[in-house]
Amino acid sequence: MTFRKLFVVTAAIAALGVAAGAAFAQTAQQKSLVDAAKARGEVGELATGYLAFRTSSSDAALTAAVEAVNAGRRQAYAQAARDTGVSVDVAAARAFETIVLPRISSGQWYRNAQGQWVQR
């Protein structure tokens, strides 16, 4: 991918408002649940641009919140992909690299492209 195309993808995603954390949670309660789970290390960011559970959870509300965030991100990545002519997977990965990863707070977790969980 050329630098220009990377820049365009990043700009398109940023314009759609993709941000770290629970940017696309449907409610304030869902955002709060996701933020708290990330702080506890139960939920982390994936290099693929989505959230995932690091530990198993039986909390239906938290599961629904993570799913809501991921659904919103998926929509934003799809729009960015259409706008820039790349795949949704490429748009999502670029969003992680350029927007999400730099905003992960100290102590929180992310899974890198090699599949390893890393604590910031």
Angle between helices 60-84 and 28-40 (to 10 degrees): 100
User: What secondary structure letter does DSSP report for 46?
Assistant: E
Alpha carbon separation from 70 to 27, 29, 55, 89, 110 (Å, rounded):
13, 16, 17, 13, 15
β-strands 109-111, 43-46 pairing: parallel
Instruction: Say how many domains are in the chain.
Output: 1
Parent domain of 30: 3-119
Q: How far apart are CA 3 and CA 118, in angstroms?
A: 27
User: What secondary structure letter does DSSP report for 23?
Assistant: T
For the whole model, what pTM was predicted? 0.80
Q: What is the pLDDT of residue 2?
A: 65
Q: Are 45 and 20 in contact, with CB atoms under 8 Å apart?
A: yes
pLDDT of 5-56, one tens digit each?
Answer: 556 566 655 555 544 444 555 789 999 999 999 999 999 999 999 999 999 9
